[in-house]
Structure 1
Amino acid sequence: MTPAAARKYCASLKGATYDLKWGADHVYSVGGRMFAVVGDPSHKEAGLGFKVDDHRFLELTDRKGIIPAPYLARAKWVLVQDYKSLADADLKTLIARSRELIVAKLPKKLQLELKGSG
Structure 2
Amino acid sequence: MSPRRRALASLAGLAMMPALLAACQKKLEAAQFVGQWKSSRLALTPMHLLPNGEWEIRTPEGKVLQYGLWQLDGQRLVWTFRDDNGDLARDVNAVVSVDARRFVLLERDGSQTTFDRQD
TM-score, normalised via structure 2 length: 0.30
- Which is strand-richer, 1 or 2? 2
Bigger radius of gyration among the two: 2
Larger RCO (alpha carbons 8 Å, 6+ apart): 1
- Which is helix-richer, 1 or 2? 1
